[in-house]
Structure 1
Amino acid sequence: MLKLFYAKGTISIAVAIGLEEAGLSYEATRVDFSTAEQTKPDYLAINPKGRVPALITDNGTVLTETGALLDYIATCAPNAGLIPTDAEDAAHMRSVMYYLASTMHVAHAHKMRGSRWADQQASFDDMAAKVPANMTDCAAYVEAECLRGDYACGTQFTLADPYLFIVCNWLEGDGVTVPDFPAIQAYLTRMEARPSVQAMRARDML
């Protein structure tokens, strides 16, 4: 059985949602960030990056990185239809995922992970102070360019949606006025109604 290592409310929950949507059986193991469990030898032996998610396959292979794991899930469950058959739609799906990984997640991380980029407390404070503005800019881009209807790819739920849902869940905590973005607000409501997301709530993973 697949084994997913996750931390509550982090991007790793996108992978759990993807597994639920694909109908794949998995065991979820929580990594406690409050005790820095991700930095301890036992977890570093699984993922030397000290981050989540990590997924151990049936073959014992350890896979990491959210986008890669979501692609792996779609490959394992092709009948779930998590990747558009149209080439341009599939490219849009991945462009959303890459934007989230390279830009929006990084902007969010500036709030509490400043030590990745600087050494001085003043620098950490400056980065954190910029997060509301940066994440508001990101939300504006998502509203205008990423959402193409009910989901990222119109009416079809795809791999981009678990990813987008989790990142958009961070907006309010990052100081973004979510009601200023009605498409995102409606999207979050729509996603909350999906059984996969409700399962995450029921298990206290979100």
Structure 2
Amino acid sequence: MLKFYYSKGSSALAAHILLLEVAADFAAIEVPIGQGSHQQADFLARNPKGRIPVLETPDGVITENPAILEYIAATHPASATLPNGIFAQSEARSLCAYLCATVHVAFAHLKRAPRWADTIAAQDDMRQVAPRNLAACAAYLDQCLRLGPWAMGSSYTYCDPYLFLIGHWLAAADVSLAPYERLVAHRDAMLARPATQAAMAAHDLD
């Protein structure tokens, strides 16, 4: 059995959706970030980075959303959530890297500004710029992804739960998703899936 460590409302929602989507055998263990549980010794023993999500597998611990999502897809081939072929798999990794290293970091500047700056003025500047950067990311994704209707085209892949998070990041920054029609269609398609609904309920999200 897999052990999945998550915090409600965090980016762990993506992996939670995929675990349910592929019907994985897993136990979900809540690690509330708001209570500082991710900085406790028992959790740091699993992930010294003190970050969520974490997936404990029979072979060891995996951290970081892109790696966790690809592992889930690769170990559940019947779900067909791993793109077929080296080029398609590389495209999927590229998208997840962008979501992780660019979009998520833009969102973190809004919510975690003290990671990067000590002065209140610098932190406030980051928070003010974050919505603009997130909107630029959304525009890029809306214009450049295949989104037909899924992130990689006509087939649902492990990228889709991760892309789904962009709506939550934009909402937290008071940026409307409405101008990005293709992202709206993707969000609606995701919301129609039982796995998405179940994961959102587990995270106390509407």
* TM-score grouping bracket, smaller chain normalisation: over 0.9
Letter matched to residue 76 of structure 2: A
Letter matched to residue 166 of structure 2: V
Q: Higher mean Cα deviation, 104-113 or 142-151?
A: 142-151
Counterpart CA distance in 1 for 2:24 and 2:105 is 29
Q: CA deviation at 1:40?
A: 1.7
Q: CA deviation at 1:35?
A: 1.2
Q: Which residue of 2 is the match for residue 38 of structure 1?
A: 38
The unaligned stretches of length 5 or more in structure 2 are: none
Counterpart CA distance in 1 for 2:166 and 2:137 is 10
RMSD in angstroms over aligned alpha carbons?
1.4
Counterpart CA distance in 1 for 2:166 and 2:178 is 16
The aligned runs of 1:158-177 (5 Å cut-off) are 158-177=157-176
Q: Which residue of 2 is the match for residue 189 of structure 1?
A: 188
Deviations 1:49-104 (A, max 9, x none): 11101111135x22111111111112211121112214433332221111101100
Is 1:114–2:113 an aligned residue pair? yes
Letter matched to residue 184 of structure 2: Q
8 Å CA contact 1:97, 1:163 repeated in 2: yes
Task: Return structure 1 stretches of 4+ with deviation > 2 angstroms.
Answer: 86-92, 201-206
Q: CA deviation at 1:42?
A: 2.1
8 Å CA contact 2:4, 2:29 repeated in 1: yes
Counterpart CA distance in 2 for 1:43 and 1:87 is 35
Letter matched to residue 113 of structure 1: R
Q: Call closer, same or farther: CA 1:87–1:168 in 2, change over 3 Å.
A: farther
The unaligned stretches of length 5 or more in structure 1 are: none
8 Å CA contact 2:167, 2:177 repeated in 1: no
8 Å CA contact 1:9, 1:166 repeated in 2: no
Deviations 1:132-188 (A, max 9, x none): 100000000110112431111111001111111123322122121211111111111
Figure out how many residues of one structure are paired with residues of the other and give that number.
205
